[in-house]
Amino acid sequence: MNEPTLIIDDDPSFNAILVRTLERRGYPASGVTDGEAALARASESGVGRIVLDLNLNGSSGLALIPRLLAINPACRIVVLTGYASIATAVDAVKLGAIQYLAKPVEIEAILAAFEDDDGPDLDLPASDEPLSVDRLAWEHIQRVLRENDGNVSATARALKMHRRTLQRKLAKHPVKS
């Protein structure tokens, strides 16, 4: 229960607040802001729990999941994102994350994800309502972005869209449905 938690988030303020909140609740925690520092810290400290931001300074946090699990196959990884999509949620779980949560997130949700031994609930009931056109467009952009390994320029070319237009779309939060 008191295994160290590693926070990997490129926002230094959010990172520090999450570390402080976990420590106040009795969970030892440390934070890093990039992938290489995360791998080094995971190697040296034997972390058992990891909170991983999906977007780390423009690159995908998903690429870190297999590398972190190679260091410690028993570690439990929760992915956080401000830009949730079905495609990245499925990818995160396939790569070995135990949960995928959208920001803003309460500390209780993160702690519950670490305590849940059943894994993510992938049998969510399907909605009778179809996705909106805006949500379908968001999901399509996320899928193409994933296919291009997070490369915005390549994704813009694949979508036949100007790169700045795509960047503006990606900077917005996804529509709910």
Asked if residue 106 and residue 27 are part of one domain, the reply reads: yes
**Which among 45, 33, 27, 3 has a CA at the least distance from the CA of 107?**
27
Instruction: Return the pLDDT at 135.
Output: 67
Asked if residue 151 and residue 75 are part of one domain, the reply reads: no
Total domains in the chain come to 2
Asked if residue 20 and residue 106 are part of one domain, the reply reads: yes
Task: Extract the tokens encoding 176.
Answer: 């709910």
Inform me whether the pLDDT recorded for 112 exceeds 60.
yes
Asked if residue 56 and residue 25 are part of one domain, the reply reads: yes
Residue that has been written with the tokens 């570690």 in this structure: 75
Encoded amino acid at 85, one letter: S
Model pLDDT for residues 119-171, shown as the tens digit of each residue: 544 443 444 555 566 766 777 787 788 778 778 899 899 989 998 888 887 77
* 135-169 burial: b if 16+ Cβ within 10 Å, else e: beebbebbbbbbebebeeeebbeebeeeeeebeee
**Which among 18, 55, 61, 14 has a CA at the least distance from the CA of 39?**
61
Residue 96 lies in a domain: yes
State the helix-helix crossing angle for 107-115 and 12-24, rounded to 10 degrees.
60
Are residues 34 and 10 in contact, defined by beta-carbon separation less than 8 angstroms?
Answer: yes
The arrangement of strands across the sheet holding 99-102 comes to 29-32, 5-8, 49-53, 76-81, 99-102
Asked if residue 86 and residue 160 are part of one domain, the reply reads: no
Question: How many CB atoms neighbour CB 80 within 10 A?
Answer: 26
Asked if residue 99 and residue 160 are part of one domain, the reply reads: no
Asked if residue 102 and residue 48 are part of one domain, the reply reads: yes
* Domain of residue 53, residue span: 5-115
Residue 123 lies in a domain: no
> Mean pLDDT across the chain, nearest whole number?
83
